Amino acid sequence: MGYFAEPSYRCNTLQAYPSSSTFISDDFFSNLEFSALEHSFFGSCMESVDLKSDLEFGEDVPLSSSKPSRKTNLSIDFETPSPLQREVSNSRLLKKLQSSPFSSSIYTVLIKAKINVLLPFGPLAILLHYLTHNYGWIFFFSLLGITPLAERLGYATEQLAFYTGPTVGGLLNATFGNATEMIISIYALKVGMIRVVQQSLLGSILSNMLLVLGCAFFTGGVVHYPKIQSFDKSAAVMNSGLLLMAVMGITFPAVLHFTHTEVHFGKSELSLSRFSSCIMLVAYASYLYFQLKSQHNLYHPIDGEVVEVVNNTEDSDDDEVPEITYWEAISWLAILTLWVSVLSGYLVDAIQGASDSWNMPVAFISVILLPIVGNAAEHASAIMFAVKDKLDITLGVAIGSSTQISMFVIPFCVVIGWMMGQPMDLNFQLFETATLFVTVLVVAFMLQEGTSNYFKGLMLVLCYMIVAASFFVHNDNKEE
């Protein structure tokens, strides 16, 4: 009690009872938290106690007392913080930075993911555009720069889905997952590159149905071998029907063109494409209403109770919580979409130059390379959910994205081209239309059983390799 009154009293008390130094041990003081001033005070008091005790017991004390040196050391320690104090201050600073909502959001979105190491390639592509005319490198760096942006768009959409619910979240995921393709298509339409728009959207459908779904089936089958994964057939059959409707809308203008049975040559084909696009938009809107409002229970798993019981253990292990807030997710969606739109302009401008410098057909670049970049988010999400044995979500990402491109994005681009005065139509030429038709049939047959395994995934990936090789040797006669 008395040790915390007056400094002089405390020191006199300690000096008056030197024998009590055995009672007031170092452990006693080490368990207390003192300021630097009190540490220096107790140090001086204990020095005097030790000195007196040494004199009383007759021990030799050197003439050069260590008192001044200790005072000097004390003053130096007072001015220079110890490494422990530096670590404490640094950890407090890091905690303050992490507690800041804005800085934590930047870290989560732009730094945390490993794929973000490709982000600097976007500004590098813009720099090369103004410094050099090497369109091959500009196109390549633009592709690399857009890849993490497409993946981060999918991440921000998933974070927003935590606040909007699973149904609306799935719709948002499909919409913003295809935002990259839509932005690239609009920029290509502005400059009149209609074949690039048609082939890139066709490539997105082929990539989602063959490559993305195939990789997901293969990965999930290998991880869960020898178990046969299952999914709900009702949603798969509905999406397959919509895809076949899209094939019908794309096939008739091409057949009309190649049979030379148009009433007005060059005009009937365009008029039929615009009319069919409006019908397809109405059909897709009806499908959304059917899915969200009317029959949303149709898309729940048939064995809902069994799946729920099995997944309860998995969900308890990894409780998924949002990492950013609602408004942060909306803000990042706007920022990332704006940056994708900026890079898309440089990407589209470099397509023809990259084709010439690489000696590669524009059809291969449009159908194969561009969709792989645009589908980065869907690719990662589909594989992740397949590994978690959630194939219903995998089908919603892969097949749902293909359905949205064929029934919404392609007709939307036709209408936008109509407004711009560009003759964008649904005549994708005979080779592309036949490729789409065969692909939809193959995937529909794969989904009709409601099960998946690694062999089905391998077949879909091999089919995609055949498609890629076909477009590599394909010479587009209508290429502008």
Domain ranges of the chain: 2-80, 122-472
255-269, 307-321, 402-416: which has the minimum mean pLDDT? 307-321
Please state, rounded to an integer, the average pLDDT across all residues of the chain.
Answer: 76
Length of the chain: 480
Q: For residue 223, what are the CA distances in angstroms to 202, 307, 450, 456? A: 31, 18, 19, 14
CATH no., domain 122-472: 1.20.1420.30
Amino acid letter at 265?
Answer: F
Mean of pLDDT values over 407-417 = 93
Q: What is the pLDDT, as a whole number, of residue 166? A: 63
> pLDDT tens-digit profile of 427-452?
999 999 999 999 999 999 999 888 88
Tokens in use for 410? Answer: 């392609």
Q: For residue 312, what are the CA distances in angstroms to 160, 166, 308, 316, 318? A: 23, 17, 6, 6, 10
Question: Residue 1: is its pLDDT beyond 60?
Answer: no
Chain-centroid distance, C-alpha 222: 24
Q: What is the pLDDT, as a whole number, of residue 302? A: 41
What lies within 8 Å, CB to CB, of 233 at 6+ separation is 447, 448, 449, 450
Q: What is the pLDDT, as a whole number, of residue 316? A: 39
Mean of pLDDT values over 457-470 = 94
Decide if 167 contacts 292 (C-beta within 8 A): yes
Spell out where 336-459 has E strands: 451-452
Q: What is the pLDDT, as a whole number, of residue 291? A: 77
Q: What is the pLDDT, as a whole number, of residue 173? A: 65
Single out the residue of 209, 249, 211 nearest to residue 425, CA to CA.
Answer: 249
Q: What is the pLDDT, as a whole number, of residue 392? A: 86
Q: What is the pLDDT, as a whole number, of residue 65? A: 42
Mean of pLDDT values over 104-121 = 85
The percentage of residues in the chain with a pLDDT greater than 70, rounded to a whole number, is: 70
Q: What is the pLDDT, as a whole number, of residue 348? A: 86
pLDDT band at 57 (very low <50, low <70, confident <90, very high): very low
Question: Residue 18: is its pLDDT beyond 80?
Answer: no
Q: What is the pLDDT, as a whole number, of residue 96? A: 52
